Amino acid sequence: MQADIKTLHQQIREGNFRAIARGITIVENGLEGHQELLLALSDRRGARVVGITGPPGAGKSTLVNALLSHWLAENKKIAVIAVDPSSPFNYGALLGDRIRMSEYYTNPNIFIRSLATRGALGGLNARIIEITDVVKEAPFDYVLVETVGVGQSEVEIAGLADCTVVTLVPEAGDEVQTLKAGIMEIANIFVVNKADRDGAEGLYRNLRILAHERADGGAETPVVKTVATDGVGLPELADTITGYLAAQQSLPEKRLHLLVEKCWQLVQARRMSDIRMTAMAAELKTAMLQPGFNLYAFATRYF
């Protein structure tokens, strides 16, 4: 198995799409060899991760589609990880591979994979960090992570991405509430999509005001107007993303926080790997019937 994983890892580094897909499946499902694959990953930082997030109906998939078209024209190689709501029946991605991106499925410079949230909070998949690291091992220029769009809890993307693009539309609801939402705090770039609709100019102005207030004397968060279906504003957005990435010089504090949390989870899972909840339940059921039962004293036997 170790030789198979070594071969798989080498194929991923060479950009073999079939190998990348297999690696994602192994890691996402915790299959045999997933630990060996993760341990083999290098600290290569060639691919930059761009998070595309925002409320449902903001046109995130269309925006990703337009960015693919733009960067393909520049001969870039791009991976797309689209995190979809989970099916309540099989925990697979409810939307499946995005139909809007079907024209790119056979393109040798585009890799697309849909993931299910599987109940994870934050609009992402529980193994999204590991999956993204596997994809970054391949020779991509950009890795686009499109989140499910669940609202304020979706701030996890800010720790994962090198650049987080928050997409909004004029009819997103009460503008004041939208601007105050926690999701607004994670934006490195604001996008007013469907900017040809009524109310777009008002939303754009409010976002500019918000960006100015947030700047506190520093650089203001860029606000870009787009009509993704027509490609309007996409060159400006792409330039803004690449400009932000080029200006990055240090590890974002949110990235450090996310990695600390992930490391904590990995250590916790490893140390509890020999504890089975079913066995604990059986022991607890017996212990509860004994005089003077104390839950906290019972728990110490596992320390």
Taking residues 257-283, report their average pLDDT: 86
Whether residue 274 lies inside any domain: the answer is: yes
> pLDDT tens digit string along 88-110?
334 444 444 455 566 777 899 99
Pair 109, 37 in one domain: no
Query: Into how many domains does the chain fold?
Result: 3
Is the C-alpha dihedral spanning 20, 26, 29, 35 positive or negative? negative
Asked if pLDDT for residue 246 goes beyond 50, the answer is yes
Pair 241, 216 in one domain: yes
pLDDT bin (cut points 50, 70, 90) of residue 184 is low
Pair 162, 191 in one domain: yes
Boundaries of domain holding 9: 1-41
Alpha-carbon span 222 to 240, nearest angstrom:
8
> pLDDT tens digit string along 108-131?
999 999 887 654 444 466 788 899
Alpha-carbon span 244 to 231, nearest angstrom:
21
pLDDT bin (cut points 50, 70, 90) of residue 237 is very high
Strand order in the sheet with 189-192: 110-116, 78-84, 142-146, 48-53, 163-168, 189-192, 223-225
Pair 97, 215 in one domain: yes
- Global confidence as pTM: 0.82
Taking residues 4-25, report their average pLDDT: 96
Whether residue 254 lies inside any domain: the answer is: no
Asked if pLDDT for residue 216 goes beyond 70, the answer is no
Can you say how many angstroms the Cα of residue 267 is from the centroid of all Cα atoms in its chain? 22
Pair 188, 220 in one domain: yes
Candidate from 31-40, 56-65, 260-269 with smallest mean pLDDT? 260-269
- Is the distance from CB of 51 to CB of 189 less than 8 angstroms? no
| pLDDT: which is higher, 284 or 272 | 284
How many C-beta atoms lie closer than 10 Å to residue 157's C-beta? 26
User: What residues contact residue 215 under an 8 Å CB cut-off, 6+ apart?
Assistant: 221
Pair 137, 265 in one domain: no
